[in-house]
């Protein structure tokens, strides 16, 4: 009986020590660079010397799975005008505006540790700023294997409609970068419906041969298709071997036709050369040309005719046409609304299923 108390005291000390060790394990921190393989990346990114990632095109998505109670990200936007969506465990997204200076973004913080899936989606356009993700820091147990992307791959080329401009418009509010929402764009919705990963390579106001204001010295589609970040023609240029799409959708022409119907031969010859570049760079890809949602009347008819002649000049069984209905936006903005983007995806998806036999 005299030995019972010391034994109980020792046993109690052991359990207290074990509990403290467990709490210490659960509250430990783990930091990984943005280019770490535990983070799955969809979209064009540039890997910097410090293993951080920089991106400019909308829709760039980064996802990870963790076991822990808190996760933070070190991020910044070069212009301080970029927005991201953060989605935790498929719950509704939280939209966050990034500062021009590096900031700590708290992605989640729960009272208890658990397994969570996290997605960061770039809402904004390239000219809103370049976004850099430096690292993720986890309070908890570990980073788990990264989510697996779908096997099918789509590349969507276009202008502000493809970028998701003004999807989240607010009536009576001055237009601002919060209105862009690539996640709800027709391109990303179509890819989701087709169980495919997707890259959006788009630039608001730009066209095939000229911008919305008639300028021909801007970077238009044949130029910015080659860009990694989408802001200038300077390095880094995109390495097309990094992403070989099964399907390429080209939805360009609205801004070319904004000042008036462009010269037929100039437009068709440029489009033909560009599509040949796509065919050469992506030898396994099917290419679908479409007129987009904004043009109507004579301009729409002219663009559809130009697309038809482009296909005739190419003589390729890998180049197709998909029609688009007119979606004129609303009184707040001429860009398609969120509901109209959803309708565009519903119209486009069955055409692509038939073309691709998906």
- Catalytic positions, please? 160, 333, 335
- State the Cα–Cα distance between residues 55 and 235, nearest whole angstrom: 13
Residues present in the chain in total: 358
Q: What is the DSSP letter of 281?
A: H
- Of the candidates 49, 44, 60, 34, which has an alpha carbon nearest to the alpha carbon of residue 133? 34
Residue 71, strand partner residues: 108, 138
C-alpha span between 190 and 211 (Å, rounded): 26
The Cα–Cα gap between 263 and 337 comes to 31
Asked if 160 contacts 179 with a C-beta cutoff of 8 angstroms, the reply is no
With 0-12 / 13-18 / 19 or more C-beta atoms within 10 angstroms meaning exposed / middle / buried, residue 38 is: middle
In angstroms, the CA 344 to CA 347 distance is 5
3-state secondary structure of 42: strand
CA–CA dist 71, 41 (Å, integer): 18
Do 66 and 143 form a contact (C-beta atoms < 8 A)? yes
- Angle of helix 297-314 relative to helix 264-281, nearest 10 degrees, comes to 50
Structure tokens at 88: 């935790």
Structure tokens at 264: 């037929």
Residue 276, Cβ neighbours under 10 Å: how many?
Answer: 14
């Amino acid at each position: 009986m005299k030995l019972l108390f010391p034994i109980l005291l020792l046993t109690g000390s052991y359990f207290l020590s074990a509990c403290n060790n467990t709490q210490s394990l659960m509250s430990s921190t783990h930091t990984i660079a943005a280019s770490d393989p535990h983070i799955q990346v969809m979209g064009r990114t540039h890997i910097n010397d410090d293993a951080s990632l920089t991106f400019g095109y909308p829709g760039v998505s980064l996802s990870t799975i963790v076991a822990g109670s808190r996760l933070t990200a070190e991020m910044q936007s070069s212009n301080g005008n970029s927005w991201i969506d953060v989605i935790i465990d498929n719950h509704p997204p939280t939209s966050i505006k990034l500062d021009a200076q590096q900031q700590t973004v708290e992605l989640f913080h729960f009272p208890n540790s658990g397994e969570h899936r996290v997605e960061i989606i770039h809402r904004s356009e390239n000219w809103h700023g370049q976004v850099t993700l430096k690292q993720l820091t986890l309070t908890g147990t570990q980073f788990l294997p990264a989510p697996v992307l779908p096997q099918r791959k789509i590349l969507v080329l276009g202008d502000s409609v493809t970028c998701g401009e003004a999807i989240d418009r607010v009536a009576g509010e001055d237009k601002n970068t919060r209105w862009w929402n690539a996640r709800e764009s027709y391109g990303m919705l179509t890819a989701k419906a087709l169980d495919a990963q997707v890259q959006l390579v788009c630039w608001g106001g730009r066209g095939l041969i000229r911008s919305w204001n008639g300028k021909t010295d801007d970077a238009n589609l044949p130029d910015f298709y080659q860009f990694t970040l989408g802001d200038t023609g300077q390095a880094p240029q995109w390495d097309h071997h990094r992403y070989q799409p099964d399907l390429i959708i080209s939805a360009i022409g609205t801004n070319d036709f904004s000042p008036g119907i462009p010269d037929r031969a100039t437009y068709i010859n440029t489009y033909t050369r560009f599509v040949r570049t796509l065919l050469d760079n992506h030898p396994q890809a099917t290419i679908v040309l479409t007129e987009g949602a904004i043009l109507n009347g004579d301009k729409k008819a002219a663009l559809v005719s130009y697309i038809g002649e482009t296909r005739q000049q190419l003589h390729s069984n890998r180049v197709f046409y998909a029609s688009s209905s007119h979606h004129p936006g609303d009184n707040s903005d001429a860009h398609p609304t969120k509901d109209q983007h959803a309708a565009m995806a519903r119209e486009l998806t069955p055409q692509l299923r038939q073309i691709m036999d998906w």
